[in-house]
Every structure is written in structure tokens, then in C-alpha cells.
Amino acid sequence: MRLKLFVKKIIRRVNRQSARSIIEEYQKRFEREAFEDCQCVSAEQFEASITRLYHTIEKGLSYQQYRPGFGKKNVENLLVSLEQYASKGFNTEAFFYETALSCLMEYVRKNKEYGVDDPVLAKRIDQLPGKANDCGGTIKVSAPVNPEMLNYEQLVLSRHSIRHFSDIPVDIELVKKCIRLAQYTPSACNRQCWKTRIIADKDKLEKILANQNGNRGFGQEFDKLLIITADLRAQQKSREAFQAFIDGGMYAESVLNALFSKGIGSVPLSASLTPVQEKNIREIVNIGESEMLIVFIGIGNYPDGIVLTTRSERKPIEVEII
């Protein structure tokens, strides 16, 4: 009996060390490989940083209340990154590079349309090597017609995040139906560790958005906000340090597609927060320590007519067959 207890104790200790080593190894990899804007080294880091920066410009271009000359810091960082990327001899015919040029040209054009001309910026863009494609900027979308009749391919190709909504409240029961559909998302050993909160209280919604950096300029239009979390208590200690994020992310995608299939507009917002922001949000809606924040989803009904949204063009796929 003592031997069995001793063996179990050793196994528990090894399991704890295994999980700890997985997290420590990830932290080392993350610090070594992740990018910082304007301090990239590899082509892959440049691609991620440049894509992030031009997408922030796409968002500003899509706002209903357009602010000419917005985002000067991000525009400057994007220009510097493109200049650095080209100076290192990387491929200036890459999709993301040409899309970034396209986005910058749209930025200059739209600002000029609103009476803000910047010849210095235009000259810097012209001096960059390569040529723009037509994949940056914004596109026009409208409420889906009979979305429940779409097959999977049509649904995936039709859905876009939107940042302008109507004043008509979203039916809570319809949102619950979407959540029930998303419950069929596969998960590790069918543990379904996720949880969705529907924030309908406008005061709490406003306080939550004040602690999330990615909703400026449109968050005030949300009718409701979904908060998706995943529970660490559903994870095995020995080797599932990140399984909550994997399962939670898959579930979040199902929620987004289910919302679109029911004609509800949505936009996902990052839950990568500062410690202070996360603490504030946990307190506002009483999220326990066992739950990890996965994503926020702003929702609302589609407005009448046409609405601008980010083009968010997808890059060519890379498939490795071994």
C-alpha cells in the first residue's frame, strides 16, 4: 500500500513538472520568436507585423464616422516596417506587402476626399518598391438574405465582421439558439470547457469595452457583448496547459458562424489584455479564476442598406504534404 502511495506521489510530481516545463518552454519560444513592430528580423515577423498594422488602418477606413488623418502612429509604423522589409531584400511581390501598399493608397485617397492632403506621405508611399494589389481597404456588405439556406462554403465566404449596427435590439432567444448550435463544436474528450456570457446591461458593457483596446470608434454601437471563456478545471494537469485556448477558440468560431447563419452581425475582439484590464473585467462580470478569457464578440442587427467593413483579404494558402 505504501509503495502504491509513493508511486502515485511521484507520478503527481512528474505531472506537475511536465506541465510547468511545457509552459516554461513556450515562454522561451514566445520571447524568442514573437515580433515587435518596427523591430522585426525574419520575413515571417515582418508579415505578421505589417498585416496587423494595415488591418488597423482598414478598420479606421470602415468607420461610419470617418476621422480624416486618423491613426498617424500606425501609419508611420507601417511605412517604417515596409521600408525595413524592403531594405532587407525580402520579397516585395508578397501578397501581404502588396496589400499593405493598397491599403496605404486607399488611406491617402480617402483623406484627400475629405479635404486632408498629405503630399509627404504620398511621396514616401511612391518611393517604396513593389506595386499595390487591389486587396486592401474596405468592401461593402449588407444583411445576408436567407442565411440559413447557405451551404458551408457559401456561409464561410459570405461572413464578414461588421462595425456598424442598427438600433434594433438583438433577440436574446435567437442568440441562445446560436450558442446551442455552437455547443456541437468538437473538444478534447468531449469536455466542452467553454462558457458564454451575454452582456445586455449597457453600463457593464461600456465598462468592459473601456478595458479592451480594439473597439474604439465602433464599440458604442454594440447592442450586446458576448464573453467566451474556457475553464481550466476541465484540463488535465500533465500536458494540457493550452487545451483551454484550443477548444475555446474552436468554439468561438462556431459561435461567430452560428450568429451569421441567424442573420446577426458580429465582430470578434481580442481578449489579450493587460493584467489590470483583465482584473477589471473579471470583477465587472464576476469571472472566476479558473476561467480563461478567450474572446469578446460584439453583436447587433445589421443596419439597413450598405455598410463598409474591412476587406481582410485572405492570403494564399500554404499546404505541406509529407
CATH number assigned to the domain comprising residue 245? 3.40.109.10
Q: Both 62 and 129 in a single domain?
A: yes
* Contact predicate 216/59, CB 8 Å: no
Per DSSP, 302 falls in state P
10 Å CB burial of residue 300 (0-12, 13-18, 19+) is buried
Q: Which residue has the higher pLDDT, 170 or 8?
A: 170
How many structural domains compose the chain? Answer: 2
Tell me the pLDDT of the chain averaged across its residues: 94
Type and span of the H or E element at 317: none
Q: Do residues 145 and 129 share a domain?
A: no
In a domain, 288, yes or no: yes
Residues 109 and 155 grouped into a single domain: no
C-alpha closest to that of 303 among 159, 168, 107: 168
Domain that holds residue 152: 141-308
Residue with cell 520568436: 33
Task: Judge if 151 and 100 occupy the same domain.
Answer: no
Q: What's the number of CA atoms in the CB half-sphere (13 Å) around residue 165? A: 25
Q: In this structure, is residue 165 part of a structural domain?
A: yes
Model pLDDT for residues 104-152, shown as the tens digit of each residue: 999 999 999 999 999 999 999 999 999 999 999 999 999 999 999 999 9
Task: Specify if 92 maps to a domain.
Answer: yes
* Closest CA relative to residue 124, chosen from 87, 80, 190: 80
Read off the pLDDT of each residue in 16-27 and give the average, rounded to a whole number. 84
Chosen domain end from 107, 136, 165: 136
Query: Does any domain span residue 230?
Result: yes
Q: Return the H-helix or E-strand segment holding 225.
A: strand 224-231
pLDDT tens per residue across span 82-108 = 999 999 999 999 999 999 999 999 999
For every residue of 9-20, DSSP letters joined together read: HHHHHHHHHHHH
Interval 221-278: pLDDT, tens: 999 999 999 999 999 998 899 999 999 999 999 999 999 999 999 999 999 999 999 9
196: left (phi over 0), alpha (psi -120 to 50) or beta: beta
> Tell me, what amino acid is at 86?
A
pLDDT digit string (tens) for 182-231? 999 999 999 999 999 999 999 999 999 999 999 999 999 999 999 999 99
| Strand order, beta sheet including 264-270 | 194-199, 224-231, 291-301, 264-270
